[in-house]
């Protein structure tokens, strides 16, 4: 393809420009459809994730599958879409979420919730029970005492189409490197 260029300098320059452009296009496609890197800001997912952790989101999964209960996902912060929230999906479309005496229930079953043993009634701004609408998901931070999530009308139930991806690898700190 580049052999038609007789000048060796121009041929090498053209090859380098082609390789750099191809790498740039591949990086854009990878970021748009496959993976995204993000950093945890805040303490809403402690003890699972910590402030400053660097994560890789799998965007590819949600091109072919719906999000699942238990997935840790990232989505734009409703009041500032340039910032991301990272939360755990606890209920899917059609599920009924209730909050009674400090315990979350999904479809009448207590949420298996090893992260929260606190009374969060005063921190709720939605009326329970909540039926999760079609195409939406009920999300909670693992650190219930320090999380703005679906309990708040500013976040509410999150559209699946708004999810940037599923958290699947922590890359920093390196001592905690691995699947999430």
Distance CA 30, CA 12 (A): 27
Pairing of strands 136-140, 80-91: antiparallel
Residue 143 has pLDDT above 70, yes or no: yes
Domain count, the chain: 1
On whether the CB atoms of residues 32 and 19 are closer than 8 A, the answer is: no
160 belongs to a structural domain: yes
Predicted local distance difference test score (pLDDT) of residue 95? 93
Residue 147 designated active-site: no
- Choosing from 87, 147, 150, 156, the catalytic residue is 87
Q: Token pair 């219930």 is at which residue?
A: 144
Predicted local distance difference test score (pLDDT) of residue 2? 63
Residue 44 designated active-site: yes
Predicted local distance difference test score (pLDDT) of residue 88? 93
17 belongs to a structural domain: no
109 vs 3, residue with greater confidence? 109
77 vs 92, residue with greater confidence? 92
70 belongs to a structural domain: yes
151 belongs to a structural domain: yes
CATH of the domain at 164: 2.10.109.10
Pairing of strands 35-39, 165-172: unpaired
**What is the rounded end-to-end Cα distance, in angstroms, of the chain?**
45
22 belongs to a structural domain: no
30 belongs to a structural domain: no
- Choosing from 44, 147, 150, 156, the catalytic residue is 44
48 belongs to a structural domain: yes
User: What Cα–Cα distance (Å) separates residue 34 from each residue in 58, 87, 145, 147?
Assistant: 6, 20, 33, 28
Report pLDDT digits (tens) over 36-69: 878 888 888 888 888 989 888 888 888 788 899 9
Domain span holding position 76: 35-179
């Amino acid at each position: 393809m580049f052999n038609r260029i007789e000048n060796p300098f121009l041929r090498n320059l053209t090859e380098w420009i082609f390789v750099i452009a191809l790498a740039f296009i591949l990086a854009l496609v990878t970021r748009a459809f496959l993976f995204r890197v993000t950093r945890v800001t805040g303490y809403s997912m402690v003890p699972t994730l910590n402030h400053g952790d660097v994560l890789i989101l799998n965007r590819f999964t949600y091109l072919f599958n719906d999000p699942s209960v238990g997935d840790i996902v990232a989505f734009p912060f409703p009041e500032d879409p340039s910032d991301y929230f990272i939360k755990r999906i606890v209920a899917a479309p059609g599920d009924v979420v209730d909050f009674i005496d400090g315990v979350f229930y999904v479809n009448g079953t207590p949420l298996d919730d090893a992260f929260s043993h606190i009374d969060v009634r005063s921190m709720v701004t939605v009326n329970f029970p909540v039926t999760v609408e079609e195409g939406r998901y009920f999300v909670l931070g693992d650190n219930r005492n320090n999380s703005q999530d679906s309990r708040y009308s500013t976040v509410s139930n999150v559209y699946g189409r708004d999810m940037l991806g599923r958290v699947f690898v922590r890359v920093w700190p390196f001592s905690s490197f691995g699947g999430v």
